Chain A
Amino acid sequence: MIPGVTIYEILTVTTLLFFIGVYGFVTRKNLISILLSVELMLNAVAINFVAINKYLYPDMLEGVYFSVFIIAVAAAETALAISIIINLYRLVTSVDVNVTETMKH
């Protein structure tokens, strides 16, 4: 619990972060940038877990556990995503989502 800071303020910050992530996710065309935005969103959510755990249920640690899981999953996901991106780049020499649409066919 941070003295002088209410949960509202924390959640406001995380909400802003989350929607900045959304904005980036939708507007960006580059796959790596999209992945960056996803990371932003994931972190915003992780903070939420932690903050709510601390402010509402300080005696428990579930929020922390989930944050750890999120971080772990994010790490795995990023590693895999980047390997895919690199492989894709080899194939089509581009990481633009519009170009990679050819995969649909």
Chain B
Amino acid sequence: MDFTYTILIPLIPLAVFLILGLNALKIKENVAGIVGVLGLLASTILSFYTAFQYFFKVGKVDGVYQTFVEKTTWMNFTDTLAIDMGVLIDPISVMMLVVVSTISLMVHLYSRGYMHGDQGFTRFFAYLSLFSFSMYGLVLATNLFQIYIFWELVGVSSFLLIGYYYTKPSAIAASKKAFIVTRFADFGFLVGVIMIGFYTGTFDFVTLNDPIALQDTASPIMQNIGVTFMGFSVITTALVLIFVGGAGKSAMFPLHIWLPDAMEGPTPVSALIHAATMVVAGVYLVARLFPMFHFIEGGIALEVVAYVGGFSSLIAAVIALTQYDIKRILAFSTMSQIGYMMMALGISGYGGVEGLGFTASMFHLFTHAMFKALLFLGAGSVIHAVHSNVLQDMGGLRKYMPITNITFLIAALAIAGVPPFAGFFSKDEILAAAYESNQLLFWVEWIVAGLTAFYMFRLYFGIFWGKERVYKHAPHESPLSMTLPLMFLAVVSAIAGLVPFSQFVSPDLVGYTTHIHMDIAAMSVGIGVLGIAIAWIMYKKETTIADKITSAFGFFYKWTYNKFYIDELYLFITRQIIFKRIAQPFAWFDKNVVDGTMNLIGNTTVDISKKIKGAQSGKVQDYAFAFISGVVIVIMVFIYFMN
């Protein structure tokens, strides 16, 4: 089967980007919207066609999903090492194509309503197309370097979109923060990529992920496995560094600080980039290299992934409890859910049912993309109506916004893991996998599940129930262009869990069947319902319980409310240490010491020349005297020294 046409999936948005971007000032709003949506629609249709072809027609040969690669050389490093560009079709890339296409199309549709009347409408759609292009390229990458290339492009489109409201100082700061933090993580990623290239001799995913070669120390890619760095194999180090890159983009602790601030961007952007697609790129990256992570040195790197993921999900859930900005709550929730996915990857095995963690992680990625995008779009709809992000300004909106209310509720139920919504199935698989391999992480995630349910319903009740506020204009339901994507996503969130995911996605590409683990499901649903119930008691009607609890936990509350002061720590490091203690002295050093030395040399020359110039008075007499003295001295020298 020839999948060459999939190259069009990223190229169509690129063309749209060029058309809209080059004429950003000329194209009218409705034209830009239509061009953008149509472009993405084409890509979406192609993606779904690809998925259909791959999963149901040609992908499976003898029960194993095949990997299709189409590529061309882009640049040669050495005679053996080169960067290729191309498309790689395998279960996870096709699954990601579907996710990206669906969410992106919904966000495009939604944006036509949400951004209506905005000055930079065309620019916004150009950026969205640029992002879609980069994300598709990332998903379809055939090798590490290609993924790095699109990784950076995704980063820059994220930067542009966060800074979309470029006259707003907080948006500028947030975009800068996002770019620099992820850039810092990418520094690790890049070093990791270069290390892999150097020690294995290839960047190619197919070669790198070959399980037979990975288990055979004589194979070319394992030739340098014996080279160590700080007690670990260099390849393990490289994998950890690559994971640092993934952690940066996926907002894992401690590189998560940019994600909450990134909410300064327009809400559709938050839904698309900072909830559903770009932030899961880190998960996708680890999944891409999963065989390597798993086989190299018994999966030490994978353990790092598991613990970082687990810890991130816990800390994010705790912080989310106390926040008031509804988008930030969702952002921390995103971070927490991505932690879940990372953790699931980390504890996964390779073959057959062992690979449940991997499957679950991808499954959760899929379902989470749907319901989290829905949550963000719903939040956007609310913000659109209330013109505020803050929970205190909302309440009782269910009467004004029925569609938003119901869709939001579905998404909240999904994320809380209530059956039969999508989140229940994926979360259940994750917990089951964790239970099998790592009890500690299982209990952590179990608690997180409860916390998730609690803060999501705190949010839900806070917005749609609770005390009714006085609104300047009466809130109204959003236009159809916005509610249509909400309804579509709500349907998907409700039913996506029924997809037999393990049939399609598994680490060894074979596929297997799973069933619901009743005991674990009972536990997780139990704690979920408990969380919802507590939220119900505290927030459905206006009560003072919340305040009492808050004051009871005073110190702890303050810490979580301030996100454990991690931002302040970073600020301290960058402002006080890097800027003030390093960059400033460097600039000073250059002006005064280096340049000073050069000037000193120059000035000394000038001074000396001035003194010499004094001797060079232009008075013939002085010259004559000097001349005669010289003659006398020379004669004396001849007399006394030469003889």
A–B in direct contact per CB < 8 Å: yes
Whether B624 pairs with A104 at a CB distance below 8 angstroms is no
Chain A residue at minimum C-beta to C-beta distance from B618: A104
Whether B624 pairs with A25 at a CB distance below 8 angstroms is yes
Contacts of B622 in A (CB 8 A): 26
Q: Does B625 sit at the interface, judged by CB under 8 A?
A: yes
Contacts of B620 in A (CB 8 A): 97
The answer for the CA separation of A48 and B628 in the assembled complex, in Å, is: 18
Whether B621 pairs with A34 at a CB distance below 8 angstroms is yes
Chain A residue at minimum C-beta to C-beta distance from B617: A101
Contacts of A25 in B (CB 8 A): 621, 624-625
Whether B618 pairs with A101 at a CB distance below 8 angstroms is yes
Whether A26 pairs with B618 at a CB distance below 8 angstroms is no
Contacts of A101 in B (CB 8 A): 617-619
Q: Does A50 sit at the interface, judged by CB under 8 A?
A: no
Distance between B614 CB and nearest chain A CB, rounded to angstroms: 13
Whether B628 pairs with A97 at a CB distance below 8 angstroms is no
Q: Does A22 sit at the interface, judged by CB under 8 A?
A: yes
Among the interface residues A28, A97, A98, A101, which one has the most CB atoms of the partner chain B within 10 A? A97
Distance between B126 CB and nearest chain A CB, rounded to angstroms: 65
What band does the interface of chain A fall in when counting residues whose beta carbon is under 8 Å from B? Answer: 10 to 19
Mask, B612-643, CB within 8 Å of A = 1, is 00000111111011001000000000000000
Chain B residue at minimum C-beta to C-beta distance from A18: B628
Distance between B631 CB and nearest chain A CB, rounded to angstroms: 10
Chain B residue at minimum C-beta to C-beta distance from A34: B621
Contacts of A98 in B (CB 8 A): 619
Mask, B587-628, CB within 8 Å of A = 1, is 000000000000000000000000000000111111011001
Within 8 A of B (CB), among A1-53: 22, 25-28, 34
Distance between A1 CB and nearest chain B CB, rounded to angstroms: 28
Mask, A89-105, CB within 8 Å of B = 1, is 00000000110010010
Contacts of B621 in A (CB 8 A): 25-28, 34, 97
Chain B residue at minimum C-beta to C-beta distance from A22: B628
The answer for the CA separation of A97 and B619 in the assembled complex, in Å, is: 7
Known: A22-B628, A26-B624, A34-B621. 10 other contacts (CB 8 A): A22-B625, A25-B621, A26-B625, A27-B621, A28-B621, A97-B619, A97-B620, A98-B619, A101-B618, A101-B619
21 inter-chain pairs at a CB distance below 8 angstroms, sorted by A residue, are A22-B624, A22-B625, A22-B628, A25-B621, A25-B624, A25-B625, A26-B621, A26-B622, A26-B624, A26-B625, A27-B621, A28-B621, A34-B621, A97-B619, A97-B620, A97-B621, A98-B619, A101-B617, A101-B618, A101-B619, A104-B618
Binding site for B on A (CB under 8 A): 22, 25-28, 34, 97-98, 101, 104
